[in-house]
Structure 1
Amino acid sequence: MELVTRTVFLCLAFALTKAAPLMQQDSAINDGLPDRCAGIEFDAITPDEKGDTFFFKGSHLWKGFNGPAQLSSEYFKELIGQVDAAFRMHSTDNPDNHDHIYIFVDDKVYSYFNQTLEEGYPKEIQEDFPGVPTNLDAAVECPKGECVTDSVLFYKGQDVHAYDIATKTVKTKTWSHLPACTSVFRWLEHYYCFHGHNFTRFNPISGEVTGTYPKDARSYFMRCPNFGHGGNGNSRKCSDVKLDAITTDDGGKTYFFAGPIYMRLDTRRDGFHAFPITRAWKEVTNGVDAVFSYSDKTYLIKGDQVYIYKAGAHFTLIEGYPKTLKDELGFEGLVDAAFVCPNEHTVHVIQGKMMHYVDLTATPRVVTKNVPLPMSDIDAALCGSDGIKLFKGSQYYNYESPMILAMGRIAPMPQMITSEMMGCED
Structure 2
Amino acid sequence: MRVSTAALCLAWALALACAHPLPHGKSEAAGGGHPHEAEPPNNDTDLAQLCVDEGSFDAATLNENGTMLFFRGEGVWEISRGAPRPHIRPLAASWPELGGPVDAALRLHRRQHPQEHQNLYLFQGEQVWAYAGGQLRPGFPRRVADEFPGVPGGLDAAVECHPEECGGESILFFKGDTVYAFDLELRVTKPRTWPGLGPCTAALRWLERYYCLRGTRFQRFDPRTGEVPPGYPRDLRDYFIPCPGRGHGNASWGDAGHGCSKMPFQALLSDDTGRIYAFRGGLSFRLDSWQDGHHAWPLGQTWPGLEGEVDAAFAWDGRTYLIQGSQVSIFLSEQGHRRVLGYPRALQEELGVPSADAAFTCPGSAHLYLITGDHIRLVDLTQTPRHVGEPTPLPHDHVDGAMCTNDGIFLFDGTGYYWYPSVAQLLGAQQPAPLRSITTDFFRCPQ
Scaled by the length of structure 2, the TM-score of the pair is: 0.79
* d(CA) in 1 for partners of 2:309, 2:337: 16
Cα distance, 1:262 vs structure 2: 0.3
The equivalent residue for 2:98 is 79
Is 1:188–2:207 an aligned residue pair? Answer: yes
Residue aligned with 2:197, SS: coil
Q: More displaced, 223-232 or 210-219?
A: 223-232
CA distance, structure 2, for counterparts of residue 305 and residue 145 of structure 1: 33
Residue 301 of structure 1 aligns with which residue?
323
CA distance in structure 2 between the aligned counterparts of 1:133 and 1:237, rounded to whole angstroms:
42
**Pairwise CA distance, 1:137:** 0.9
Q: What is the correspondence of 1:320-331 to structure 2 with a 5 Å cutoff?
A: 321-329=343-351, 331=352
Structure 1 contact 305–323 (Cα < 8 Å) conserved: yes
2:5 alignment partner in structure 1: none
Measured in 1, the distance between the counterparts of 2:178 and 2:136 equals 29
Shift of 1:381: 0.5
> 1:272 maps to what in 2?
294
Q: Could you tell me which residue of structure 2 aligns to residue 64 of structure 1? A: 79
| 1:13 counterpart residue number | none
How far the C-alpha of 1:230 sits from its partner, in A, is: 4.3
Equivalent residue number for residue 126 of structure 1? 145
Q: Which of 261, 265, 273 in structure 2 is aligned with 1:243?
A: 265
Question: Is 1:356 matched with 2:371?
Answer: no
Is the contact made by 1:179 and 1:195 (CA closer than 8 Å) also made in structure 2? Answer: no
RMSD: 3.3
Aligned match of 1:101: 120
1:182 positional shift: 0.3
Following superposition of structure 1 onto structure 2, how do residues 259-408 of structure 1 map, counting pairs within 5 Å? Answer: 259-312=281-334, 314-319=336-341, 321-329=343-351, 331-408=352-429
Q: Among the aligned pairs, what percent are the same residue? A: 38
Note closer, same or farther for the CA distance 1:228–1:318 as it changes in structure 2 (3 Å cut). closer
Q: Shift of the alpha carbon at 1:68?
A: 6.5
**How big is the shift at 1:264?**
1.0
Matched-pair contact (CA < 8 Å) for 2:103–2:155: yes
The whole-number CA distance in structure 2 between the counterparts of 1:157 and 1:106 is 14
**What are the residue-to-residue correspondences of 1:111-190 with 2, within 5 Å?**
111-190=130-209
Note closer, same or farther for the CA distance 1:388–1:27 as it changes in structure 2 (3 Å cut): farther
- Matched residue type, 2:151: V
State the shift of 1:203 in Å: 3.3
Segment of structure 1 superposing worse, 148-157 or 77-86: 77-86
Deviations 1:251-284 (A, max 9, x none): 4322101131100122334432100111111132
1:53 partnered with 2:72 = no
1:111 aligned counterpart, secondary structure: strand
**1:179, distance to aligned residue in structure 2 (A):** 4.0
Partner SS state of residue 286, structure 1: coil
Once the two structures are TM-superposed, the CA of residue 227 in structure 1 deviates from its matched residue by 5.8
Letter of the 1:285 counterpart: E
Listed one character per residue, the Cα deviations across residues 276-317 of structure 1 (whole Å, up to 9, x for unaligned) are: 111111132333221112344322222343333232372233
Distance 1:32 1:425 in 2: 28
Change in 2 beyond 3 A, CA 1:357/1:268: same
Helix, strand or coil for the counterpart of 1:200? strand
Q: Which of 202, 214, 224 is the matching residue for 2:221?
A: 202
- Secondary structure of the residue aligned to 1:126 is helix
Number of residue pairs the alignment of both structures matches = 409
Q: Does 1:22 align with 2:15?
A: yes
> Structure 1 length normalisation: TM-score?
0.83
